[in-house]
Amino acid sequence: MWLIHSSIGRKLVMSISGIVLLVFLLFHLSMNVAAVFSAEAYNTICALLGANWYAVAATVALVGIIALHFAYAAMITLQNRKARGNDRYAVNTRPKGVSWASQNMFVIGIIVIGFMILHLSQFWYKMMFAELLGHHEVTLGNGSVNPQDGAAFIRYYFSHLWVVIAYLIWYVALWFHLTHGIWSAIQTIGWSNRVWLKRWKTIGNIVATLIFLGFAFVTLFFYAKSLCGGSC
């Protein structure tokens, strides 16, 4: 099948799955920003995305897309290394116009996936998965909360400095991944040309930066709030 064996097919699958994940990131960011302004609004969204059939189906689809994206990234990386042969061991300076992110996309992707596992263990596992198991309360710190009380999870985890630092590292890795991935995906699909390539790179940098700043803001906001006992 050409989507597996063809270089263009592999890149096309990578691009389409990447764009789908980008849309999810923007949706997730809008949810998190809502938590800053209203815990009730955030919890309402969490209730809608709880153990409902459509939310579970979307989660399964999302996991499949992430796995597909990572698998094709691995195939493309191995293909490129095989094509370079012994040249990959040579000490070369980075070619002009080639970003550091583009040369290290797979490594950055592994970092992103690694921290995603941390995120899932802290939130999804104790929220949607707990609901699926029929739990009406889950342990959080020294107490227990309803799995749909997403605001409580955000307040708890982002009150720990090591968690905040870990998430900020994740956001930086995500920023590097997106600054190359967005325009590269658009180019692979064919929605680009010589004029629009520079524009898409600029748009990609702007979108990646907004996503980074948005997630970082939410994380630092709740950490700062924890320092003053929630009174500020």
* pLDDT score at 91: 46
* pLDDT score at 162: 96
Helix (H, G, I), strand (E, B) or coil at 87: helix
Q: Look at residue 34 and tell me whether its pLDDT is greater than 90.
A: yes
**Alpha carbons 195 and 179: distance in angstroms, whole number:** 18
Q: Look at residue 231 and tell me whether its pLDDT is greater than 60.
A: yes
Q: Is residue 225 very low, low, confident or very high in pLDDT (cuts 50, 70, 90)?
A: very high
* pLDDT score at 227: 92
| Residues contacting residue 90 through CB under 8 Å, at least 6 positions apart | none
> Is the alpha carbon torsion for 86, 91, 97, 103 positive or negative?
positive
Q: Look at residue 52 and tell me whether its pLDDT is greater than 90.
A: no
Q: Look at residue 89 and tell me whether its pLDDT is greater than 50.
A: no
Comparing CA positions, the residue from 122, 150, 154, 147 lying closest to residue 225 is: 154
Comparing CA positions, the residue from 209, 212, 211, 191 lying closest to residue 200 is: 191
Which residue do the tokens 């992707």 mark? 109
What pTM was computed for the model?
0.86
Task: Looking at the chain, list the stretches that DSSP marks H as alpha helix, in order from N- to C-terminal side.
Answer: 2-5, 7-37, 39-48, 53-84, 100-103, 105-119, 128-132, 150-157, 161-189, 194-227
Least confident of 13-27, 45-59, 184-198, 212-226: 184-198
- Summarize pLDDT for 105-154 with one digit per residue, the tens: 778 888 888 899 999 999 999 999 999 999 999 999 999 999 999 999 99
- Summarize pLDDT for 179-219 with one digit per residue, the tens: 999 999 998 888 777 778 888 999 999 999 999 999 999 99
| Residues contacting residue 199 through CB under 8 Å, at least 6 positions apart | none
